[in-house]
């Protein structure tokens, strides 16, 4: 399972979201910067804290032209409850096939119970990876301030 590195095209990944969409990444974000967050599930306090942080930063992210999507193995009802409880306004995907997502992206998978470990990608407007953050456990993940700073740097310094 190869890890995605800077400059790699993000693979086509279609996710079903809590708002009834089927988003195909990276196509759904073409022309915008994007943050793709895989999380362990609604039960994980570190994951929900990360998602809440991205929601708190939503105005700054939007001003910077950065869109966000999250994905977990949770079922539709659990993902919808978690999104509502945390007032998340970005799409929250559910029902991820963890081994299939891992095969595409290199995300680490917990074997039992099966879930995706925290993984984050920042994509450029063409759908290429700017940075990937892989965690093999509960901690180690993207934070909104770093993403905003990185995108600002890329805009200012990368042709």
132's torsion region: left (phi>0), alpha (psi -120 to 50) or beta?
beta
H/E element, 105: helix 98-105
Q: Tell me what pLDDT residue 2 has.
A: 85
What is the model's pLDDT at position 1? 59
- CATH 3.40.50.10880 is held by the domain 13-157: no
Copy the structure tokens of residue 112. 């039992």
pTM, to two decimals: 0.96
Q: Tell me: the pLDDT tens digits for 123-138?
A: 999 999 999 999 999 8
The pair of three-digit structure tokens given for residue 103, joined into one six-digit string: 């095969």
User: Is residue 159 over pLDDT 70?
Assistant: no
- Other C-beta atoms closer than 10 Å to the C-beta of 34 total 25
What would the mean pLDDT of 76-93 be, rounded to a whole number? 97
Residues in the chain: 159
Q: What's the pLDDT score for residue 95? A: 97
Residues in Cβ contact with 100 at an 8 Å cutoff, skipping those fewer than 6 apart: none
pLDDT digits (tens, 9 = 90+) for 12-69: 999 999 989 999 999 999 999 999 999 999 999 999 999 999 999 999 999 999 999 9
Taking the alpha carbons at both ends of the chain, their separation in whole angstroms is 31
Residue partners of 51: CB distance under 8 A and separation at least 6:
37, 39, 70, 82, 86, 88, 92
């Amino acid at each position: 399972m190869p890890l995605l590195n800077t400059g790699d095209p993000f693979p086509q990944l279609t996710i079903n979201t809590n708002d009834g969409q089927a988003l195909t990444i990276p196509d759904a974000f073409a022309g915008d910067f994007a943050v793709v967050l895989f999380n362990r599930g609604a039960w994980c306090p570190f994951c929900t804290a990360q998602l809440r942080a991205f929601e708190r930063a939503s105005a700054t992210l939007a001003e910077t032209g950065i869109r966000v999507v999250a994905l977990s193995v949770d079922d539709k009802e659990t993902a919808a409850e978690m999104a509502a409880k945390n007032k998340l306004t970005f799409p929250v995907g559910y029902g991820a096939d963890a081994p299939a997502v891992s095969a595409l992206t290199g995300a680490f998978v917990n074997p039992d119970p099966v879930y995706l470990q925290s993984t984050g990608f920042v994509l450029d407007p063409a759908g290429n990876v700017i940075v990937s953050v892989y965690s093999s456990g509960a901690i180690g993940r993207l934070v909104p301030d770093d993403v905003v700073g990185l995108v600002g740097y890329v805009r200012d310094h990368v042709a």
